[in-house]
Amino acid sequence: MPQAELVVVANRLPVDRVEGATGDDVWRRSPGGLVTALEPLMRREDGAWVGWPGQAGLDIEPFDFEGTHLVPVPLSEEEVQLYYEGFSNDTIWPLYHDVIAEPRYRRVWWDAYVKVNRRFAEATASVTAEGGTVWVQDYQLQLVPRMLRDLRPDLTIGYFHHIPFPAYGLFSQLPWRRQVLEGLLGADVVGFQRVADAGNFARAIRRQLRYVTKASGITVPERDGETRNVLAKAFPISIDTASYVELAQRADVRARAAEIRESLGNPSKILLGVDRLDYTKGIRHRLKAFGELLEDGRLSVEDVTLVQVASPSRERVEAYVQLRDEIELMVSRIGGDRDTMDHTAIRYLHQGYPREEMVALFLAADVMLVTALRDGMNLVAKEYVATRTDNRGVLILSEFAGAADELGTALRINPHDIDALKDTIVRAVEMPPAEQGRRMRAMRRKVIENDVHAWSSSFLDALANARAHKDDEPDG
Ligand code: G6P
């Protein structure tokens, strides 16, 4: 395995194992935005990506895929349960999303989290070139920066947190809060989605570790009596805007959008929700508001259809099993009460779709509903905006999603306020084209300016800066 100058570390590798044409398993690039964003960079820098290959028990040698060296970190079935489903997605995920679901604190989950984070750190240490740069991604790997620094003090280390960082009053519930903060502070640059997340982090550092923080700088005492400066600030992530624009302009995708409208019975308005099936997304709040609007007679199934794509996610975690039951009960209740022979109130799809189909759906939708109760960024909001090249369509956007900081001309809502949400849906359905255009144009400017390439460059520039300052220090 060659040593790489730039190494990305994430829970998942940027590929999925799928059945190929001949029936054998083949690797296919994952559809995510991060993967798309980093692909040209990894190619250029001859980079490596360290991550779990996505299947329990799969232990394979490093391999090259489309210009990136992939370094698989194996997880046993038990580790998937304890580290991934347990600590990552049943402790950290609910805690960091403002305890919308109750976080569970289990010592055996924590032990597995430490062990697996160490495995990631060791794999990374062994593939990174002398003086190289490592970029760690997300909440599954919060201990990696510190572990890696201990193994390889020569490296420049960045960490980006894709999900919210909670207020100290919540964060302090975590029995291992100190270890997590120290883990993150192993990085030279710690990036967050919102200014508020970086603020919560700095406050946790002050309250818990008593370190000094000043603007975005944190002074971290080291064991040798020296101090190190860590930069902690917001770098709001984005999408590969150009590729969405390109898809939205393709004749076959536009034809598919028309076909979707047709197959829904050409309703005068289509509302759309697209989410991983997750309790943070506010899907129930959205269904409640829509169901009540039909019941009140303010909307009718003859005119308006809601398409809800809820892609399967973390299906063995109890809170997700329960949420699916609740949503499916609501969908079938509303349908049972409101559907007619010719019209369905809600077209519910518990499936994931390729990007082309998603863009066709965005083009078919008059109103996009993003009602997250808490969300790091919410890229779906940005994807919808990017595809609306005719500057039509209305985005309803929760103020609790990171995207609300940038998309100021969306119709902002508090998803807990069902009456206001209902009024906003009616307002969106009735919005005159000129107002749609005014709002959409301003939002499109934002996602064109700040795309995912601008995001990764600004983070990597901050890292390069951190390295330059380190080199300036007299004793290195
Ligand atoms: C969020 C997280 C990612 C995660 C993704 C899908 O966007 O920030 O780290 O990869 O959800 O979840 P999964 O558990 O399937 O990886």
Contacts of 4 (CB under 8 A, 6+ apart): 45, 46, 47, 48, 69, 127, 128, 129, 132
Strand duo 189-192 + 156-160: pairing: parallel
In this structure, are 43 and 150 located in the same domain? Answer: yes
Distant-in-sequence, close-in-space partners of 224: CB < 8 Å, separation ≥ 6: none
CATH number for position 100: 3.40.50.2000
Asked if 196 and 265 sit in the same domain, the reply is no
Q: What is the pLDDT of residue 473?
A: 61
Same-domain status, 137 and 75: yes
Q: Is the CB of 163 under 6 A from ligand 1?
A: yes
Question: Does 93 share its domain with 52?
Answer: yes
Whether 146 and 104 share a structural domain: yes
The CA–CA distances, whole Å, from 200 to 75, 231, 357, 373, 398 equal: 32, 14, 38, 18, 20
Nearest CA residue ID for atom 9, ligand 1 = 138
Q: Which residue puts its alpha carbon closest to atom 11 of ligand 1?
A: 276
Residue with CA at minimum distance from ligand 1 atom 12: 313
Assess whether the C-beta atom of 311 lies below 6 angstroms from ligand 1.
no
The residue with tokens 């609501």 is: 330
Coil, helix or strand at residue 229: strand
One domain, residues 43 and 124: yes
For residue 335, report the distance from its CA to the centre of ligand 1, in Å: 31
Bridge-based pairing of strands 394-398 and 367-370 is parallel
258/360 Cα distance (integer angstroms): 8
What span, in angstroms and rounded, lies between the C-alpha atoms of 450 and 430? 30
Written as six digits, the tokens of 99 are 């305890």
Q: Tell me, yes or no, whether 370 lies in a domain.
A: yes
Decide if 20 is inside a domain. Answer: yes
Give the model's pLDDT for residue 41: 86
ipTM tops the 0.90 cut: yes
Residue nearest to atom 6 of ligand 1 (CA): 313
C-beta of 317 in contact with ligand 1 (< 6 A): no
Place of tokens 């390439």: 453
Domain that holds residue 394: 241-449
Cβ–ligand 1 contact at 161 (below 6 Å): no
Using CA atoms, how far apart are residues 176 and 84, in angstroms rounded to an integer? 17
Any atom of ligand 1 within 6 Å of the Cβ of 146: no
Q: Which of 196, 211, 234 is the last residue of a domain?
A: 234
Ligand 1 site-directed mutation target among 8, 11, 97, 311, most atoms within 8 Å of CB: 11
Domain for residue 462, yes or no? no
The last residue of one of the domains, among 174, 202, 234, is 234
Same domain for 308 and 189, yes or no, is: no
Instruction: Report the pLDDT value the prediction gives residue 474, as an integer from 0 to 100.
Output: 52
- Domains identified in the chain, total number: 2
Looking at the fold, whether 208 and 271 belong to one and the same domain comes out as no
Q: How far is CA 175 from the centre of its chain?
A: 25
pLDDT score at 476: 42
- Mutational test site, ligand 1, from 314, 378, 379, 382, max ligand atoms within 8 Å of CB: 314
The answer to whether position 61 is within a domain reads yes
- Please tell me the residue having the least CA distance from ligand 1 atom 7: 162
Q: How far apart are the first and last CA of the chain?
A: 28
User: Are 151 and 246 in the same domain?
Assistant: no
| Residue 219 shares a structural domain with residue 279 | no
> 406 and 340 in one domain?
yes
Ligand 1 atom closest to 140 (CA): 9
What pLDDT, on the 0 to 100 scale, is given for residue 235? 98
Which alpha helices (DSSP H) does 49-184 contain, by range? 77-79, 93-96, 107-127, 144-151, 168-171, 177-184
Calpha distance 472→466 (Å, rounded): 10
In a domain, 115, yes or no: yes
Residue that is last in its domain, among 234, 269, 287: 234
Atom of ligand 1 nearest to the CA of 138: 9
Answer for the pair 424, 214: CB distance below 8 angstroms, yes or no.
no
Residue 460 lies in a domain: no
Distance 160 CA to ligand 1 centre (A): 13
Decide whether any atom of ligand 1 lies within 6 Å of the 313 Cβ. Answer: yes
Q: Helices H, strands E: what count in the chain?
A: 17, 18
Q: Ligand 1 pocket test: which of 92, 139, 163 has the largest number of ligand atoms within 8 Å of its C-beta?
A: 163
> What is the whole-number distance in angstroms between the Cα of residue 453 and the centre of ligand 1?
20
Residue 175 CA to ligand 1 center (angstroms) comes to 23
Residue 63 lies in a domain: yes
* 328 and 348 together in one domain: yes
Cβ(229) to ligand 1 under 6 A? no
Residue 413 Rama label (left phi>0; alpha psi -120 to 50; beta)? beta
* Ordered per-residue pLDDT tens for the chain, 476 residues: 679 999 999 999 999 999 888 888 899 999 877 887 788 889 888 899 999 999 999 999 999 999 899 999 999 999 999 999 999 999 999 999 999 999 999 999 999 999 999 999 999 999 999 999 999 999 999 999 999 999 999 999 999 999 999 999 999 999 999 999 999 999 999 999 999 999 999 999 999 999 999 999 999 999 889 999 999 999 999 999 999 999 999 999 999 999 999 999 999 999 999 999 999 999 999 999 999 999 999 999 999 999 999 999 999 999 999 999 999 999 999 999 999 999 999 999 999 999 999 999 999 999 999 999 999 999 999 999 999 999 999 999 999 999 999 999 999 999 999 999 999 999 999 999 999 999 999 999 999 999 999 999 999 999 999 999 887 765 44
Tell me if 365 sits within 8 A of 347, measured CB to CB: no
* 475: in domain: no
